[in-house]
Structure 1
């Protein structure tokens, strides 16, 4: 097999538009700028075509296509970058005759290999960390070896660098036959998947291809758990990154959310993000609570003579904005909307230990698995809400831990229909909301990774008439085929009419953007997002939904 993935590239018209479809009445393939550029190889010719375009004169529909084609050129450049990094690690100049002596002089337990020397060289030249340079070398080796098809797709611009890297990070260190089997399962449908979805696809495929190795992989990964050193951010802030076992990370996230929401319900003026960060610091550092002044500012913490303001540190973590925060961050002209279905404070159950001290609220984590996995009849991976696929052994252990805060969701292995939803640790939302969130799992917008448990439940067809009483389309009903989870950002954009969505069948969502692009999303399934192309008419007139 050749070392250089670029030597394997030959444009294949049959690979164009993989995973895409065209709306009835849309322009035929080849009529638009995107189709013409997509037929070109990702190389100097395509770059020259892109540079010659007058971007200001293009219609809005074509501009996203230009972005897509520019990313194809960048993908080919990344393939060359990785191949050159791998070649550097193989270069005779890095096979230093005194390497063994150098290794012996290092601290005990530290060993350098040729890739480490090449990474040190690259990190100095590129001004990146050695770890980043070593990952680039790892990519180049994988693309020239067991993951050669991924390297070929990257060099032809048919897969983005972040998605190719996700495949390498998930399967690149596995035996060649395992890595190739995972690649064969994941690569054909990667075009319609986000980076997060590709990572989940790789994890699921790896568990299916090599279920016996799941425990060893988890043991090895668990041994690498860590909390990073503070990373410098602007304006006196710093970021921390924690790598934890999935179950512990999801529990920690849920506990911080529950504590923050309880404080908000009690009238604390801080946002959820601020409260999550402050709650973590208060508990880890043993600080007292931060008193809030009348103006909404937070006073410094005073404990053991320390005078530290709570904003001295920051934690980089994703969470939903509270209404006040989201209103401030909303795009101009977008009116804020309240959540149609929001978690109620009563969903948080306070627990009190035997010593009488008040503990934090208990949280619930949803774990979805097939009936066969639960009974041990097969090893299909489970799905940990807010994280993704988790191997069968861990899923069974969590499901059988009935005294914990897991909510077990058992599904039929063939149809995926929910068979059982455990409710033992908190008061559940309405059955309909429960069903819709389990059905869709994530925000229904294309590529949005926000879990349904952190989304608003939105009526796809508006339930309420406009405030000004003007005529409108028929009002929607509150039913499964007219509800779907939307994160706060996409909810606002949809309510403002910037994004339009239609739900032709329950759990199937057709989105249209201001530039006229349409996408079909089934967020609760493994089906890829389909780019449906251009609508049959210009996007300016009102759309039929």
Structure 2
């Protein structure tokens, strides 16, 4: 018996067998892998056309959790002009950071992992597998030399890229030992062998927020620290139960971990406030400030007007959902300081005669834009620069001319530092078409509209593009 599959209302001619459907799915996957491999090749060729220029620094990765940057790819790969990644990212509909990673992986594979690169281009290894290997070799600590990366390439290519994260970590550790790379790291112990790669870490997976308003943590701790923490959480969970909590053990342990963080912060603030001297190598205690925005409406009832809060709100930090019940529980904590700020009308136009931006004007622009207003950028506005869309002329008043770029909310926008520099030092340009709505034009004439709903590509080239920089081959 041959099984057939057909959509609603499909005739006999539209019916296909299960075997045909599987063949179509396999063909689509092969086409998808081929397109991803082609995209890697094009990204590498885009990098070839954009070596560092006089006004461009070499593109680099910002490493999460650190205050330094790393090159786009490992030793032996060409440098790339940092501003070229923005145009590639916008064409692909991804952030500049994601575009940096794409170019970095392409260069790492082509120059330092050539066997794996050849397997990707021939279709034997999916691009996503190869990119995971490239990500590891780029950010290995200590850094892999070109010869060491070649050893990893040979081992991975021998199994056609079929290697899991744990196996890859062991292979990199073996490579570090084989090529005596630990000797180049002053913090490493040459007697440690595989232990020269310290696996300890604490990672917050803030890109995966549960509908209940929770985030997932992942940690690798020292054995003694792990046992101490486990014992403390168990004790705190038992205390909650003794006080009448009916929640599950897992929930009580999670609450205990958050309570430890709040208690430690409060203790450090108390000690600092008492005038005690702290060690120079200890971070200064600080308050954790969260900005929550909840929709409020007024409802008329038999008892008069009643203020109604929406069940969900928006947390500025990491642009995440927050539940009203969570806010109530935070505000009910005795160690929580609640500050209610006056409502700012986002449609009102605020201005000042000078160049400096007052706090009230800055706050209005931050609340209006929410994030950096460059296409597809998601950097929170509170950590961005506030830029004059039309440049402020510091000599206009002295020359008796009207100010072309006044300090008013209709001429201000939030830009992260990278895109602020890109706007200042490259041919990218933008204008505000409405309050909080911006139209960007790339050096090659591609246009994008950015507003509170996101980024939209505008069809049709700009009749007057800013100017395409002439590429120089290395």
TM-score of the superposed pair, with normalisation by structure 2: 0.40
Higher fraction of strand? 2
Task: Work out which structure has the larger RCO, using CA pairs closer than 8 Å and 6 or more positions apart in sequence.
Answer: 1
